[in-house]
């Protein structure tokens, strides 16, 4: 068992090395300048493309600069301002709840620990680790749809449960790459390892992948 785990660690290290060479500029696509802006953008990104979020925040971040700004306007006005991102009523509630908590418990500043971040309304491990990955040290690995799909195809996990995937990845991916790993997976998932018709013939991980289309059943 230990030998198998060591083998998978070596295989994962090779995956990371190859993807680093392939996507040296891989990074988060959301646009932001501060932890607070990233918090808002990440809340808005649920069930929405990063491109659409960036279109909305280009105006939003000029109008709302700090937590108190989101509490000064009527809820309906905030809902209208974020309407294009979808699920705007729930997102507006989460944003207002977060801003209230930031002012009451954290002096208006975004805390940079997993425990504190996940205590905020509407903030789970994924959102927390997105923020920590950009401004501190992540305490886990962000698992989005691209990450989940790729690590399953690569045979590193045999589950669709995001929490279980994260725990298994934390045991395989070097901690120094916890923040970087999701960006590499997402870049590869968008460019090559697509949900439909993955471009296996163009994949730098082809020789490491048990799901490649030319693999023998």
Which active-site residues does the annotation give? Answer: 126, 144
**Residue 6, CA distances (Å) to 2, 13, 105, 205 in order:** 6, 11, 43, 19
Distance of alpha carbon 158 from its chain centroid, rounded? Answer: 21
Q: Which residues, 6 or more positions from 74, have their beta carbon under 8 angstroms from its beta carbon?
A: none
Dist CA 141 CA 168 (whole Å): 10
* CA R_g for the chain: 19
Report the alpha-carbon distance of residue 117 to residue 107 in Å, rounded.
14
């Amino acid at each position: 068992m230990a030998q198998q785990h060591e083998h998978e660690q070596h295989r994962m290290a090779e995956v990371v090395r190859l993807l680093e060479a392939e996507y040296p500029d891989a990074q988060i696509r959301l646009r932001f300048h501060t932890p607070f802006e990233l918090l808002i953008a990440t809340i808005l990104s649920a069930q929405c493309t990063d491109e659409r979020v960036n279109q909305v925040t280009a105006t939003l971040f000029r109008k709302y600069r700090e937590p108190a700004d989101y509490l000064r306007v009527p809820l309906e006005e905030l809902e209208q301002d974020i309407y294009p991102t979808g699920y705007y009523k729930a997102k507006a509630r989460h944003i207002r709840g977060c801003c209230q908590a930031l002012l009451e418990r954290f002096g208006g500043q975004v805390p940079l620990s997993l425990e504190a971040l996940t205590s905020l309304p509407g903030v789970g491990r994924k959102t927390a680790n997105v923020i920590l990955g950009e401004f501190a040290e992540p305490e886990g690995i962000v698992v989005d749809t691209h990450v989940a799909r790729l690590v399953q195809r690569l045979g590193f996990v045999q589950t669709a449960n995001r929490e279980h995937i994260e725990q298994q990845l934390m045991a395989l991916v070097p901690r120094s790459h916890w923040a970087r790993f999701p960006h590499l997976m997402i870049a590869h998932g968008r460019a090559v390892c697509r949900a439909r018709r993955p471009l296996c013939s163009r994949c730098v991980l082809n020789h490491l992948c048990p799901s490649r289309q030319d693999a023998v059943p």
